[in-house]
Amino acid sequence: MNKDQGTRGWVKDCSTRRTLHVMGCTVVLCFSLGYFWSMSNYTWQETPVKIFNTVRKIYSKPQILRPPNRTHLLENLLEIELPRMIYAKPQVLKPPRNDVLMMTPWFAPIVWEGTYNLDILNEQFRQRNVTVGLTVFAIKKYVVFLKTFLETAEMYFMVGHKVNYYIFTDRPQEVPKVELKEGRNVVVLQVQNYSRWQEISMRRMEMINHFSKKQFINEVDYLVCVDVDMRFNDLVGVEILSNLFGTLHPGFYGAERQSFTYERHPASQAYVPHDEGDFYYAGGFFGGTIKEVYKLSKKCHEAIMVDKDKRIEAIWQEESHLNKYFVYHKPTKILSPEYVWDDNMGRPEILRKRRFLAVPKNHAAIRNK
């Protein structure tokens, strides 16, 4: 290649680069003019703010670890505001009772007369619009106790609150007609009977568990499970309600654990060792939220069926399994013997109220009939 050819090639290359440069600048200039023309609608004071907001909106980084905004969940929370009330001031240094235990080591209150204000509690539960279910088993001749049970319940049980009476019976035609207050209903649940009263007793957990899932969960907030051969003798109200509650057995509330009639056969699912246990609970009065009663009845029923397959029957049937459950699943509230009492045991001074009393009866004439 000669000298002239090299010069012409260099000149040609420079010309090409200059042309590309000019074209690029022209494109940038056009884009800039278009942008500033579009911005002409803004005032110079608004422009920096609007540009910042636009950039922030477009380029804001998604927060992978930040939970979604759930403030809407707080907007629907029920606000409980008590009306003006006149009542005695609580005395921090003067407990209302010093003759009985009022609190367990796991901070579950023990309900005695004189330890609560029912007016305050009633207002709280009314604002929550609570409905309470009360279950009883009136199998075979036990149906004869229903009339007294329902009549006294209408006088003393959950006064001023909505109640569903769930009657488990094999004789629905014999369920008595009782006048009920507004918001209270009798619901008859027909079930089969069994030849032995012990079998009927053990099957209660199965039926409570089944209907808790099938029906109760859609109809009530709390479930109270009691014996039918009893009568209400004084107010039994919302002071008893909690996630899970049991009742101190009237025969053992002052006894040491070695005296408790727990199931002591190690092969039984209800077995409780001699060095375990807090209280002995009555099988005839327990309850809680539907969720907790469902878990309790499911666990007890499954344990009863395991024992049955081994031809083992706990000493006090479902009461033994209930006590085993409460050893390892502590109740959140405990009811004093005021809530299950038998006048044949006298009237000790600590018992200021006898709220739920055993009805005198001839067991031999009632059972297995």
Q: What is the pLDDT of residue 198?
A: 65
CA distance 341 to 212: 27
Check residue 13 and give its pLDDT: 52
Checking if the pLDDT of 303 tops 60, the result is yes
Q: Per-residue pLDDT for 315 more than 50?
A: yes
Q: What stretches of 59-142 adopt beta strand conformation (E)?
A: 110-111, 131-138
**Among 78-82, 117-121, 243-247, where is mean pLDDT lowest?**
78-82
What value does the mean pLDDT take over residues 45-55? Answer: 43
pLDDT category at 341 given cuts 50, 70, 90 is very high
Q: Which residues are catalytic?
A: 319
> How confident is the model at residue 12, as a pLDDT?
46
pLDDT above 70 for 317 = yes
The pLDDT-based confidence of 24 (bands split at 50, 70, 90) is low
CB-facing half-sphere around the CA of 132: CA atoms within 13 A = 25
pTM for this structure? 0.78
- Tell me the two tokens of residue 241: 């309600």
Question: Mean of the pLDDT values across residues 41-48?
Answer: 45
Which is more confident, 51 or 301? 301
Is pLDDT of 49 > 70? no
What pairing do the DSSP bridges indicate for beta strands 222-226 and 184-190?
Answer: unpaired
Residue 145 DSSP code: G
Region 76-83: mean pLDDT is 74
Predicted confidence (pLDDT) per residue in 197-215, tens digit: 566 666 899 999 999 999 9
Confidence of residue 11 (pLDDT cuts 50, 70, 90): very low
CA separation, residue 212 to residues 220, 222, 227, 234, 237 (Å): 10, 10, 18, 28, 21
Average pLDDT over residues 216-244: 98
pLDDT for residue 60: 53
Q: Which residues of 262-293 are buried (b: 16+ CB within 10 A; e: fewer)?
A: bbeeeebbbbbeeeebbbbbbbbbbbbbbebb
pLDDT of residue 34: 55
pLDDT in tens, 241-279: 999 999 999 999 999 999 999 999 999 999 999 999 999
**Span of 28-32, 55-59, 258-262 with lowest mean pLDDT:** 55-59
Q: Is residue 369 very low, low, confident or very high in pLDDT (cuts 50, 70, 90)?
A: low
Q: Is 317 left (phi over 0), alpha (psi -120 to 50) or beta?
A: left
Report which secondary-structure segment, H or E, holds 105.
none
pLDDT at position 69: 65
Stronger pLDDT, 192 or 126, i.e. the higher one: 126
Tell me what the pLDDT averaged over the chain comes to. Answer: 85
Residue 3 pLDDT? 46
What DSSP state is assigned to residue 176? P
**What's residue 55's pLDDT?**
45
Q: What average pLDDT does this structure show over 41-54?
A: 44
Most confident of 61-65, 76-80, 269-273: 269-273
Task: Let me know how long the chain is.
Answer: 369
The Cα-based distances of 41 to 26, 28, 37, 48, 180 in angstroms read 24, 21, 8, 13, 75
At 70 the pLDDT is 63
The mean pLDDT value for 314-337 works out to 97
Q: Distance of CA 127 to CAs 75, 107, 163, Å? A: 17, 26, 16
Mean pLDDT calculated for residue range 109-130: 96
pLDDT attached to residue 361 = 79
